[in-house]
């Protein structure tokens, strides 16, 4: 199954995606983690991405696409992947669809985490004190929310128009409870086997 974990910054995409990927037995491909890794290793891509990420902007599509394409071509991606933080723009979604079409695949499922803005702000400012991510500042967050609405939210419309299954999940509450909600939604719509 090719699934996307979708949601605004601070919605818990990364946390939920890593748990759900383990439960589904498929790799978790996280664009933000991969970019932070490039920054940590001071690669040319990391060098270009860091100031953009710190300002809350989006790294250019072609750079992110190249990075994701190489991980989709890994042999273990064949049985499915859970993508997190990609696609983040409609052009990225169109490129992903074309890459998958070449592999006779498509996006089967979008898991959309819904969290109100006030809660996002509280979470990110709290994360700033614990994880020290250089983009977790009040200004960085405000910009990421603007970019999310303008560039990323239309990705959901893209998949909705394509008839892709979209599960809207309440992303507020206990981490375990949210994972349960996601798994239950996947069972309900037949994306994974088993009963609750």
CA distance 50 to 38: 9
Residue from 36, 50, 123, 144 carrying the catalytic annotation: 144
Closest listed residue to residue 68, CA positions, set 43, 54, 85, 51:
85
Among 45, 85, 96, 155, binds ligand ADP (CB under 6 A): 85
CA distance 84 to 52: 19
Q: Catalytic annotation on 127?
A: yes
CA 81 to chain centre: 12
Q: Minimum distance from CB of 30 to ligand ADP (Å)?
A: 7
With contacts defined by CB under 6 A, name the span among 51-59, 73-81, 111-119, 185-193 that binds ligand ADP: 51-59
Nearer to ligand ADP, 169 or 192 (CB): 169
CA distance 12 to 171: 7
| 171 binds ligand ADP per the rule CB under 6 A | no
Q: Catalytic annotation on 102?
A: no
Q: Catalytic annotation on 149?
A: no
CA distance 28 to 19: 9
Q: Minimum distance from CB of 59 to ligand ADP (Å)?
A: 4
Nearer to ligand ADP, 26 or 141 (CB): 141
């Amino acid at each position: 199954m090719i699934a996307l974990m979708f949601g605004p910054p601070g919605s818990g995409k990364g946390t939920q995606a890593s748990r759900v990927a383990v439960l589904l037995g498929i790799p978790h491909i996280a664009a933000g983690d991969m970019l932070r890794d490039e920054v940590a290793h001071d690669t040319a891509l990391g060098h270009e991405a860091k100031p953009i990420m710190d300002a809350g902007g989006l790294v250019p599509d072609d750079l992110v696409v190249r990075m994701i394409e190489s991980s989709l071509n890994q042999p273990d991606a064949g049985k499915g992947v859970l993508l997190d933080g990609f696609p983040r723009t409609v052009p990225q979604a169109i490129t992903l669809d074309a890459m998958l079409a070449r592999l006779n695949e498509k996006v089967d499922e979008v898991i959309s985490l819904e969290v109100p803005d006030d809660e996002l702000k509280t979470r990110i400012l709290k994360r700033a004190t614990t994880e020290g991510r250089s983009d977790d500042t009040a200004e960085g967050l405000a910009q990421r929310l603007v970019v999310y609405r303008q560039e990323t939210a239309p990705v959901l419309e893209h998949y909705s128009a394509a008839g892709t299954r979209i599960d809207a999940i309440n992303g507020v509450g206990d981490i375990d409870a949210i994972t349960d909600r996601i798994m239950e939604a996947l069972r309900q719509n037949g994306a994974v086997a088993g009963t609750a």
